Amino acid sequence: MSRLTELRDVIREHNVAYYRNDAPTITDAAYDTLLSELLALETTLGVTSDTASLSGSVGTPVGLGKVHTHKSKMLSLANAFDTETIAKFMDGVSTKLTIGATTYCMEPKIDGLAINLHYVRGELLLATTRGDGTAGEDVTANVKSIFGIPHNLSAEGVVIPDELEVRGEIYLPKRELVAINLLRSASGEKLFVNARNAAAGTLRQSDPTLCKTRGLSLYVYGAGINGNLLAGTHSDVLSVLEQLGFSTTPGWLVSNIHEVGTQLASWADKRSILAYDIDGVVLKVNDLSQQVQIGAGRRYPHWAIAYKFPAEEGVSVVTAIVWQVGRMGVLTPVAHINPLVVGGATVSRVTLHNLSEIHNKDIRINDKVVVRRAGDVIPEIVRVHTGATPREPVVKVLTNCPVCGGGVEFNGVATYCKDSTSCPGQLKGRISHFVSKKCFDIDGFGDKLVDSLVAGNVLKDTVGVHRLTVKALEPFVGTKRAVKIHRCLLASKEISLPRFLYSLGIPHIGRSVSEALADKYGTVAGVICASKESVLAIPGTGDTIATNLVTYLQPSGDGINTISELLGNGITIKIPETTVGILSGEVMVITGTHPELSRTEIAARLVALGGVMANSVSRRVTTLVVGANPGGKVAKAKKLGITITTIDDMLAKQ
């Protein structure tokens, strides 16, 4: 099961990077490969519907803002990178339909942030991000400040349902990105890499006026609950929404792969001259009744697919290959290249991930290489264009850490510095993580300052950050800035439990796991006392996460000492007000199926009521929740004297 755990951990972190942080770290194709492997492995091991699985979720759990459940799930889309995959998809649609020919609607895939607008009796009451597909963050105030989004719906001859969800993409026009970056450059702020990151970051700001001044826009691509009451086809639904005042994505009706190919070529040709960024084209079955007949999976609808455009490419020269050490000791090779503009951004450094990638692509210093920005975001070297003559030597396995000179370990894929205690590179990484926005959020404490403080032997661990004085900071930043940073240090001493846990830098304990731990145990003491079995019962965790946490928190270990010293420095943990759910104290296992809800949806509702989910029946389980066609868990529950109830009876407690 180790590979299953590893895949879930890796995918969870990539979900957080893309959906929450708006900063993806791998390509769409690489992500799809990982997800396909997870789905196949779950099926082989018979854990396809495990509530701990990530294959059934879209994106990642929402952040710390107010959360609302979508009336109907916001599914993601399966990706295609060639017309052969599109043709296979269309053949699959045909086999699922019992009667009638199929017409498809093609429309551009806007590169922005998915949004769900919830109207009640024609009034916009709620706007939420996609979140994990089931629930999203409340961004209503910001969305209402965006020009062109109707606050009230009305149109002659249109009957508006009492409840209606309108789905679309919040995006930033290209001209607005240029204007914003000019202002940020003039004020010395970091520039936005692309329009999507700018749009997502703006929408999550606390000040609604920022959305209004930055010129965000919305293109509507469909409807959720009661959208079928507007019209019988997807294209007609878009027409009705346009009558109601929305800007809708332009679409074309096609019926065969030849027409699809023509439209793909057309959109690819005009992509660069559009006023907004698109990263592909979406193909949807147009008839809504056929969509229902075809159905959907846990993650994707089976009646739609997204064709992703190839990434833009350019050629440059590798001038050096430099190894960087991360906070966990992983040594990562980075190619320095002659600056190259690709996809609108200047690229001068490209991560090579590990030694295996260097050898597989045979990349050497002075080679000409093809560079692309995968997903128009992440630079990567695709292949060697032409090698230098004569070529430089093949890059070899490191024998020593280039930062501290200590020994290294190579496991066949990754290279690690074994000196975790005194390696300056690892220490800098740990401190940078500790002070980052996702942890203690200490303004002005950037990487350059961290480098200087470590090099000057002023900081030797993360505990020392909150012991810094104005006098200690002055030689590095000057008096005025030292005073400002020190004020931020003092202000950061009050922190939420999830951020505190994440700041500790425990391997595989990311933001989502930190939030899950905080939700279950409530206090630092509760987390410290958690057993491995207790952690394993949390949905989304696995053996690696549980083992790493318990190992870090072992009595008299470095982890406990770090926590003790941090709290001794005056760090206080903010405990949010919580409402005890009616299922508080219940440990439940779900078995069988439900005609309307997936097991993941059922588990989410039970957790919202205060319950804790487990994966298997044991003596610690209090209730077995049974649906249709249950398995052998019923017999085991009876043998252990565990209460058995139905899914409907349990959900009726809401």
- Tens digits of per-residue pLDDT, 451-472? 999 999 999 999 999 999 999 9
Q: Which amino acid is at 262?
A: T
Taking 70 as the threshold, does the pLDDT of residue 577 lie above it?
A: no
Taking 50 as the threshold, does the pLDDT of residue 62 lie above it?
A: no
Q: Nearest Cα to 74, choosing from 204, 200, 223, 202? A: 223
Per-residue pLDDT averaged across 599-615, rounded? 68
**Total number of residues shown for the chain:** 654
Percentage of residues in the chain with pLDDT exceeding 90?
29
In sequence order, what are the residues at sequence separation of 6 or more whose Cβ sits closer than 8 angstroms to the Cβ of residue 95? Answer: none
DSSP secondary structure code for residue 17 in this structure: I
Q: Nearest Cα to 210, choosing from 236, 182, 172? A: 172
Peptide bond into 61 cis (omega under 30): no
Which domains are seen in the chain, by residue range?
Answer: 2-56 (1.10.287.610), 69-308 (3.30.470.30), 313-417 (2.40.50.140), 493-574 (1.10.150.20), 587-651 (3.40.50.10190)
Q: Nearest Cα to 572, choosing from 643, 497, 482? A: 497
Percentage of residues in the chain with pLDDT exceeding 70?
84
The 3-state DSSP class for residue 105 equals strand
**Number of Cα atoms under 13 Å in the Cβ half of residue 490:** 7
pLDDT of residue 219: 93
pLDDT of residue 16: 55
Per-residue pLDDT averaged across 380-392, rounded? 87
Band (pLDDT 50/70/90 cuts) for residue 575 is low
In sequence order, what are the residues at sequence separation of 6 or more whose Cβ sits closer than 8 angstroms to the Cβ of residue 607? Answer: 539, 613
Per-residue pLDDT averaged across 396-407, rounded? 88
pLDDT of residue 440: 92
Tell me the per-residue pLDDT of 209-255, one tens digit each, with 9 for 90 and over: 777 788 889 999 999 999 999 999 999 999 999 999 999 988 899 99
Top pLDDT among 239 and 202 is at: 239
Contact 553, 560 (CB under 8 A): yes
Handedness of CA 391, 396, 400, 404 (dihedral sign): positive
C-beta atoms surrounding 271 within 10 Å:
16
* 471: region left, alpha or beta (phi > 0 left; psi from -120 to 50 alpha): alpha
* 376 vs 14: CA distance, rounded Å: 17
Percent of residues in the chain assigned helix, strand, coil, to nearest 5: 40, 25, 40
pTM: 0.52
Contact 517, 540 (CB under 8 A): no
pLDDT of residue 600: 60
Please tell me the least confidently modeled range out of 415-429, 514-528, 575-589: 575-589
Band (pLDDT 50/70/90 cuts) for residue 64 is very low
* 508 vs 64: CA distance, rounded Å: 20
Q: Which two tokens stand for residue 499?
A: 């951020």
Q: ∠ CA 570-546-530 to the nearest 5 degrees?
A: 55
Residues marked active site are found at 109
Q: Nearest Cα to 308, choosing from 113, 75, 59, 79? A: 79
Q: Which amino acid is at 538?
A: I
Indicate the pairing of strand 304-308 with strand 79-80. parallel
Residue matched to tokens 């196949």: 40
Tell me the per-residue pLDDT of 101-119, one tens digit each, with 9 for 90 and over: 789 999 999 988 999 999 9
Top pLDDT among 182 and 596 is at: 182
Please tell me the least confidently modeled range out of 27-36, 143-152, 329-338, 609-618: 27-36
Taking 80 as the threshold, does the pLDDT of residue 332 lie above it?
A: yes
Query: Per residue, what are the HEC states of 436-478?
Result: CCCCCCCCCCCHHHHHHHHHCCCCCCHHHHHHCCHHHHHHHHC
Band (pLDDT 50/70/90 cuts) for residue 17 is low
The 3-state DSSP class for residue 18 equals helix
Tell me the per-residue pLDDT of 46-56, one tens digit each, with 9 for 90 and over: 554 333 344 44
Top pLDDT among 594 and 12 is at: 594
pLDDT of residue 522: 84
Band (pLDDT 50/70/90 cuts) for residue 24 is low
Per-residue pLDDT averaged across 282-299, rounded? 89
pLDDT of residue 579: 43
Q: Nearest Cα to 417, choosing from 396, 401, 402? A: 401
Q: Nearest Cα to 632, choosing from 237, 95, 87, 46? A: 46
* 481 vs 470: CA distance, rounded Å: 9
* 157 vs 150: CA distance, rounded Å: 17
Per-residue pLDDT averaged across 318-346, rounded? 86
Residue matched to tokens 């029946």: 617
Top pLDDT among 407 and 584 is at: 407
Taking 90 as the threshold, does the pLDDT of residue 7 lie above it?
A: no
* 503 vs 414: CA distance, rounded Å: 24
Phi–psi pair at 109, nearest 5 degrees = -95, 100
Contact 281, 109 (CB under 8 A): yes
Per-residue pLDDT averaged across 181-193, rounded? 77
Taking 50 as the threshold, does the pLDDT of residue 60 lie above it?
A: no
* 198 vs 196: CA distance, rounded Å: 5
pLDDT of residue 233: 93
> What stretch of H or E contains 415?
strand 415-417
Q: Nearest Cα to 444, choosing from 407, 392, 483, 417? A: 483
Band (pLDDT 50/70/90 cuts) for residue 564 is confident
* 82 vs 203: CA distance, rounded Å: 33
Handedness of CA 315, 320, 321, 322 (dihedral sign): negative
DSSP secondary structure code for residue 138 in this structure: B
Please tell me the least confidently modeled range out of 138-147, 400-409, 591-600: 591-600
Burial class (CB within 10 angstroms; exposed 0-12, middle 13-18, buried 19+) of 50 = buried
* 606 vs 184: CA distance, rounded Å: 46
How high is the mean pLDDT of the chain?
83
Residue matched to tokens 């220490």: 427
Handedness of CA 122, 128, 129, 135 (dihedral sign): negative
pLDDT of residue 472: 93
C-beta atoms surrounding 448 within 10 Å:
10
Per-residue pLDDT averaged across 511-539, rounded? 85
Band (pLDDT 50/70/90 cuts) for residue 578 is very low
Residue matched to tokens 């796991």: 513
* 373 vs 342: CA distance, rounded Å: 7
